[in-house]
Amino acid sequence: MKQKKYPAPRFPSFPSCTWERLLFFAKFHFALIVLLGLTTSLRAQNDPVQFQAQYEVDGQTLTPYGTALLDYKTGKFQEALDALNRADQGILTQHDDRFIILKSRILTELKRYDEGEKLLRARLTPTGPLEVQLALGDLLLRKRSFDRAAKYYSLALQAKPDDPDITLKLVYARIGVSNLVEAGQYASHLKPLDPKNPYDDHASYYFAKAALAQATGKTQEADDDIQAARTIYGITVTNRYLKTYLEVFASSEKTPASDMKPPPLIKPAPDNSKP
């Protein structure tokens, strides 16, 4: 029986001439570059900070955002702003509220309030975002624009009605315009530490009491409330709240107390157990 012959498979022919080979490789590399560019662009939209240039800090690789955050937390505010400006390549400002909020907080520390406010207002919508509303409230509180700060804290409280820290800042804002009645109403919604929830680290109740006492000239009561917060929550949490308390009220001219001198930041007691 005669065996049937099948045609041999045909494969794409590889260019034989040198110039044809060069053209083939050029097209291949161009397509590869385009594909990689599209992939990087899509990933950058999802995480715009991740794909910025990186820097070495104490042996750790940080993005400019990470470097700025580290400088901000260590009080190097101008260095932090410079790092963010290096990171600002148009992507972050369009897609990442973290960048905007951090930059506004740095500008606040540098007392460049108008620049920070303009930055935040550009991100603001009628419904939020919540973090931007809070950042704008914090900036205006530091600027001592208490009524305007209260407006944005009130909007944020609508989104998180049980948040004790937002409520505390509304207490501060109302005391700032000597509206102690309304400040007291907000403070009445705050609760002391619940024994059933020992991991709660919100000292808002005690600092609201301290602020109201300070505003009415009862400085000893204010000191006692802050010391109570220290006993319950520890030094780290207390100092975090005390920082805002001092910033807002240490030199306030709007409160009735004539000799407002809040206690200094609490420092850990020296450890005498070591030789």
pLDDT given for residue 20 in this prediction: 62
Answer with the one of 91, 123, 155 that is the final residue of a domain. Answer: 123
**DSSP labels for 182-247?**
HHHHHHTT-----TT-TT----HHHHHHHHHHHHTT-HHHHHHHHHHHHHHH-HHHHHHHHHHHHH
Same domain, 152 and 215: yes
What is residue 17's DSSP assignment?
A: S
Q: Is residue 90 part of a domain?
A: yes
Same domain, 55 and 143: no
How many residues appear in the chain? Answer: 275
Q: What count of Cα atoms within 13 Å lies in the side-chain half-sphere of residue 1?
A: 2
- Rounded CA separation 164/187 (Å): 9
What is residue 74's DSSP assignment?
A: T
Same domain, 111 and 131: no
Same domain, 158 and 257: yes
**DSSP labels for 235-268?**
HHHHHHHHHHHHHHHTT-SSSS-SS--PPPPP-P
Answer with the one of 123, 156, 186 that is the final residue of a domain. Answer: 123
Where is average pLDDT lowest: 84-93, 126-135, 212-221, 249-258? 249-258
Same domain, 160 and 89: no
pLDDT given for residue 45 in this prediction: 42
Q: Is residue 23 part of a domain?
A: no
Same domain, 208 and 251: yes
Same domain, 258 and 134: yes
Whether 101 and 131 have beta carbons less than 8 Å apart is answered as: yes
Answer with the one of 73, 93, 123 that is the final residue of a domain. Answer: 123
| Domain total in the chain | 2
Q: Is residue 103 part of a domain?
A: yes
Q: Is residue 12 part of a domain?
A: no
pLDDT in tens, 207-230: 999 999 999 999 999 999 999 999
Q: Is residue 37 part of a domain?
A: no
Where is average pLDDT lowest: 1-15, 31-45, 225-239, 250-264? 250-264
pLDDT in tens, 119-131: 999 988 877 799 9
Q: Is residue 3 part of a domain?
A: no
Same domain, 219 and 235: yes
Q: Is residue 137 part of a domain?
A: yes
Same domain, 83 and 180: no
Q: Is residue 62 part of a domain?
A: yes
Same domain, 170 and 209: yes
**What mean pLDDT, rounded, does the chain reach?**
77
Same domain, 262 and 162: yes
Which domain does 217 fall in, by range?
127-268
- 3-class DSSP state for residue 130? helix
Whether 135 and 101 have beta carbons less than 8 Å apart is answered as: yes
Same domain, 88 and 207: no
The CATH code of the domain that includes 232 is 1.25.40.10
**The pTM is what?**
0.68
